[in-house]
A and B are shown apart, each in its own frame.
Chain A
Amino acid sequence: MTAPGWLRWAWLAPAIFIVAFLLVPLASLLARVVTPETLDYVADPLPWRVAGLATAQALTSTALALVVGLPMANALTRYRLLGRRWVLALATVPFVLPTVVVALAFRALLGSSLGTGFVIVVLAHAYLNMAVVIRIVGARWSTIDPRIETAARTLGANRWVAFRTVTLPSLGPAIASAAAIVFVFSFTSLGIVLLLGDSSTRTLEALVLRQTSILLDFQGAAVSAAIQAVVVGSVLLWAAKQGASVASGGTRTFRLVQARGAARMAVAAVAMVAVLIVLAPVASLVWASVHSSSGWTAAWWSALFGSTTIDAGSTRIGSPLAAMGRSITFALITGLVAAVVGGLAAMSVLAHRLGRAFALATALPLGISAATLGLGTLLAYGRAPLDLRATGLLVPIAHALIAVPLVVAVATPTLRATDSRLVTVAATLGARPSRAWWTGYGPTLRTVMIAAGGLACAVSLGEFGAASFLARADGPTVPLVIARLLGRPGEASFGVAAAMAVVLVIMTTTLVAAVDRGGRRA
């Protein structure tokens, strides 16, 4: 390929970004950990006990997400069904919902019957993550020729044996890969466990937050973060190995199967259950935003848009409108930074000899939890001599760091699928290298960047973990305000929080829908 010269240096910008905002913070964290007293901290049973609790919780959440997600993956990606695309898009909604919104929705839906604790946390995690199972396993499932099970059946296997011996082994890597991701999300969960959990559902992420913000035990926090990073790193490494064999599977997708008889009823039932599961918490959220103990009310919504501050007795929550403005600004900066950095990274992955290694490096933030990232950033840039907190840039920078791996993951395969011969054709027609490259990749790149930037915006709007470390007390984002409101008693707090959550749902789903539509057009 005749690549323009500048493309060889495109990796510099993302590399500098990652060094400055990921490696330097991690190094400051590490510098804190490795001291003579470290061994005492490592010997402290507390983080290990929390790690054990989090493992049990994450394993249960993963199992439930698989139980719920696998039938949906089968029904929604393999069979002809009226409104199938719509249901599939709907089933993805929970994944893009901010965790505090899901926590609030589950409290509105099940809080009175389940209270807080293990069960509701696991349910909320399964709800958030079933889309991971549906998308990853469904994508694999749709590349398995449905006739291959038929072939097994003509050789004497009944339906179940044919599934178990032929289809399941093909799905295995995809299931393992999805399970690893759900495990990591549940293991490092913060918003859900803070708002719905009790002492049985603590995570290291929540422990780190408590150690830094309440106990001011930075070294203990660093040790907790390190334990979490090791667990997450090992699981993701294992998942990457599984993913390699996923990628080696076929890429051809097969025509949807027309289910008949009982199978048809089952497919329709699964789709209906999927719709119900997705909508019930959201519906109860909307209900909570227009309802009080005395009936219908518009009070929560007028409080949202009317007053300048919500009086919270001893603590002031700040103006909801200001928080929304702040969240939107942060989201826009995040989208811009992530699209540019991630876009350049994706281009380098394609153009560079060390592309694969580079792709792995840009995926690093995925393995580092928000709390670890937040804590490291705080240690590196939140104090003299370099205090960036006052600039208000720390939150969008951390969000961009979280979003860059997503941008790279979205952009790289699309760019790779672009026919590189177009560049050669343009070059043979007299285009200079840059021009030729842009002719080949420009149109794809533009669409992908807009889509990925939108996705990064959505991530930023709902992000809770890093923001809770990095946002200043007088400058909270919308998820932080929701969490603070939920921390207070009274139905007014709950109602206003629900109204804010509804706004967040609308903003996030609109963004993601627009991105999805744009992506499909590309």
Chain B
Amino acid sequence: MNDDGGLNLACDQLIVGYKTPLHEPFSFTVEPGSVLAVVGPSGCGKSTLLATIAGITPALGGRVIIGGHEVTQSPTHERRVAMVFQEPLLFPTMNVRDNVAYGPRRAGLPKGQAREKAEELLGWVDLAGLGDRPVDQLSGGQAQRVSLARALAAEPRVLLLDEPFSALDAPLRTRLALDVLEAVQRAGIPAVHVTHDPAEADTMAHGSPSGSILSM
């Protein structure tokens, strides 16, 4: 899915927070196809770390590097770091297919091709045939899978996951965790997965080659 042949994500002395740092500076590298699981209690700055990597929150110091290029000052939409949130945050005025086609459309793909790509991704998350459905008619697990498909369809260079399973029940969590791990390896991109659940962090880190855990 990714033609870049896999780029790594590196944070170099990255300081995150609003006005004051929330944590010691972060320095780590995540290799293509592997997952860095960040675990810690709520309020410790996990989500702020993701927001800073995505460029939603400005870094207080240090650098974010993707594939050897520094992106610390780049705006969010130029970084190609797709994010899956705790809630699916699907676009309510679009159907399932157009939600997934959103990223390809922004990358300049014509509508038809973007939709084909969306269908492919929907098939991959086992939601083939649901493209026409309004997003408010999905179950929680389906919505989160659409959200994952939407992130992957954008062909991101990095996948950021902000407690994406916490609103789901246990069987769904396991299912979706496997989906994410497979997706990351297939796409050959680095992923940062934030969770407050140590067991989930363990699953994600050890489910991928050279995955690791960062405790906060």
Contacts and interface: CB of A to CB of B under 8 A. Distances in A.
Contacts of B91: 148, 151-152, 165-166, 169
B85 interface: yes
Contacts of B154: 154-156
A155 B75 contact: no
A145 B85 CA distance: 12
Contact of A151 (B79, B83, B93, B94): B83
Contacts of B94: 169
A161 interface: yes
A157 B160 CA distance: 17
A154 B92 contact: no
A155 B93 contact: no
Given A147-B89, A148-B89, A154 B83 contact: yes
B186 interface: no
A169 B95 CA distance: 13
B151 interface: yes
Contact of A156 (B56, B87, B107): B107
Contact of A165 (B56, B81, B85, B102): B102
Interface string B95-135: 00000001100110000000000000000000000000000
A158 B77 contact: yes
A155 B89 contact: no
A199 interface: no
A155 B150 contact: yes
Nearest to B91: A166
Contacts of A155: 77, 82, 102-103, 106, 150-151, 154
A170 interface: yes
B166 interface: no
A249 interface: yes
A168 to B, nearest CB: 9
B38 interface: no
B189 interface: no
A154 B54 contact: yes
Contacts of B54: 150, 154
Nearest to A168: B93
A153 interface: yes
A152 B102 contact: yes
B82 A154 contact: yes
Interface string B55-81: 010100000000000000001110111
Nearest to B154: A155
Nearest to A261: B58
A156 B106 contact: yes
Contacts of B81: 154
B121 to A, nearest CB: 13
Most chain B CB inside 10 Å of its own CB: which residue of A156, A165, A170, A258 = A156
A356 B184 CA distance: 52
Given A153-B56, A154-B54, A155-B82, A145 B89 contact: yes
A414 to B, nearest CB: 25
Nearest to A153: B76
B92 A151 contact: no
Interface in A163-205: 165-166, 169-170, 172
14 contacts: A150-B54, A150-B83, A151-B89, A153-B56, A153-B77, A154-B81, A154-B82, A156-B80, A158-B77, A169-B91, A169-B93, A169-B94, A170-B92, A250-B92
Interface of A: 145, 147-148, 150-158, 161-162, 165-166, 169-170, 172, 249-250, 258, 260
Interface of B: 18, 54, 56, 58, 75-77, 79-83, 85, 87, 89, 91-94, 102-103, 106-107, 150-151, 154, 156, 160
